Every structure is written in structure tokens, then in C-alpha cells.
Amino acid sequence: MSRLRAMIALAALVVAGGLMVIIPSTPASAAACAASWQSSAVYWQGDQVSHNRRNYQAKWWTQNEAPPGTTGVWQDLGACDGGTTPPPGGTCNHPNWVAGTWYPAGSIVRYTNGLYYIAEHDNPGYDPIISTWYWEPYTCSGQPPTTPPPGTGGFVVTEGQFNQMFPSRNPFYTYSGLVAALSAYPAFTRTGSATVQRQEAAAFLANVHHETGGLVHIVEQNTGNYPHYCDAGQPYGCPAGQAAYYGRGPIQLSWNFNYNAAGNALGLPLLTNPWLVQNDAAVAWKTAIWYWMTQNGPGTMTAHNAMVTGAGFGETIRSINGSIECNGGNPGQVQSRVTKYQQFVGMLGVPAGANLYC
């Protein structure tokens, strides 16, 4: 026997009372299983779950895609065994959030992602993750989480697709500004299936295209309308001036009360400095997404809810312009929006869905 082989043999044997005892190798134990994957929960980049006795880690935002999935969102961390980590939100016992329910300030709810939120201001059932103005994260101890779930910063529309959608856009409307604005409303284009997410993005961008002539106009072109957007009956008045609240940005935000509400929701001084909307691309995009996510306008629901609940693209038009275009008000304008929406969903590879008209 060679010296090397003899050393290996000796390392595997122990002399105990004159007997040769073989020490068996100890198999590596499997990692403990993380919390079980839930179809209704929202998972962010870095979140870990277990499914069929294997652990997985999310590479980006996902919902309703069971590991290992088909899109590559889940990284397989290997087999697992034993106990599971406690679900997010701890052991709080508060009711599930219900869309459309009136929540006074101080209400605590459990959202669909398993986390808890406390209402900072009265609201008519807004999604807890759409704005920190209405809701704040909440833990059983009453203290906000030290590290809120991170967003991925991604968008279901690529920069190449965005440039193709808006070939003549004003350089002010940057793709990076749009992506930066996503952090203000994590549920925007990240709710529901991959198809629904792309339909919502197409619906938003189709309406934006119509409102701005293809992202060409930053401000309202009819300057004669400018003095009309000051509602002096509001308690805060029009501190920036009678004619300061004209249409700006992708959704053409106008009126002092809209600037005030958007500013409060976004933590920006838009009532006193409405010019931020025409000077900062990220702010401009945020105001458009704010309206899309939180305002019914002349309709009966937000444009976001219209797309994620299946009410259809037609209801987004109603939320923006109501009877001015809908119910036969201006069928040509409606058709313009619908045609652009159909074009955009085609570019994103998803069907347009039902209820295109209002």
C-alpha cells in the first residue's frame, strides 16, 4: 500500500479498545424551508419562499407565479427541510384590506402581500402600496419596518419599445424619468398577470400619447385657458398665481386642487411651485401616475383599477375625460385612444381585452 493510501485509511479509522471503528461521514443537512409560497402574495427582489420542499429566491417583483416558474424570476436555492420562517407581518391580527372600503386615519389592514399597513390619512380604499401619503407600513410593535420592500426599478416596456411608441417625443420626456417615477406607486404595471401588467402599461401610454400629441407637448398649448384653472373657493387658494395651474406633463395635470392633492401624495410643493411638473421629468411622470392610480376623475373608478379588474380600456377614457368623449360625446377622440392602445398592446405581445370603448 502506498504511503498516501495508508494515510487515507488511517484517517478513516479509530482504534477504540483494540477494535477498528469506521467513522461514517455525516451527510450535509438540508436548509430549513422558508415561508411557503402564496399565490396572492407579492414578492420582491431577494424575497425567499419554499415550494415542494425546495427554497427559491425572487430575482425581481413577482406575483402568482409558482416556483420554479416559467419566466426565470425564481432562483432555485436547493432542497429544504424542517421548520419554516414566520410569514411577513408577524403575528398581527388585523382585517384584510378591501378595495373601495372607507378607511379613516389610524385603520390597520393586512394587504394581499401579507404585510400590514396603517392609514395615515382618510381614504376610500386606496391600495396600501400606492402612496405613502395614505398608508404607511406597520408592524405588530407599531413601528414601521426598518427596510421596506425594495422595488426592482424595472418597467414592462423596454426603452427600445418606448422609443418606438414615441418616435417624435420631446427630449424632456425621458425613459429614465419614467422608470424613476415607478417607485412612487409600486402597484403601477406590477399588479396581476404578466398580460395584465402589459395591458395596463399600454393603456397608460396610449392615453398619454393622446393627451400630449405623442409626448411632444409639455404644457397646455391654449394659453387662453390658463387663468381658468384656479378654484378660488379652495381654502388654500392659488398661491402660485391665478394662471399658474394650467395643464402640464404626460397627463396634462391642471387645476389648483389637483396640484395640491398630487403634491401632498408625492411629498412635493406643487401647489406653490407647479412649474416642477414642466421642469423635472421624473416629477412630470409621477403626477401622471398619481392621477392614474388614485383619481376617478369623471369616471367611477381609477384607470388602474379599470385595467387590473378587467373593466377595460374604455373605463380609463371615462376616468380621464368622462362625458366629454364617452357616451357619444366625441367618438373620434375615443377611437384615437383605442387605436393607439391596440397598437401598443400589439407591440407588447398581449391581447387588447374586452370593453375598449366608453
What element of type H or E holds 320?
helix 313-321
Residues 6+ apart with CB under 8 A from 277: 248, 249, 253, 259, 270, 283, 284, 287
211 is catalytic: yes
DSSP 184-237: G-TTTT-SSSHHHHHHHHHHHHHHHHHHHTTTT-SB-S-GGGGGGG--TTSTT-
Query: Does residue 260 sit in helix, strand or coil?
Result: helix
CA 87 to CA 357: how far, in whole Å?
42
Residues 6+ apart with CB under 8 A from 154: 60, 61, 179, 182
State which amino acid sits at residue 220: E
Strand 62-63 versus strand 74-84 pairing type: unpaired
Catalytic position from the list 211, 220, 315, 325: 211
What element of type H or E holds 54?
strand 54-58
Positions marked active-site: 211
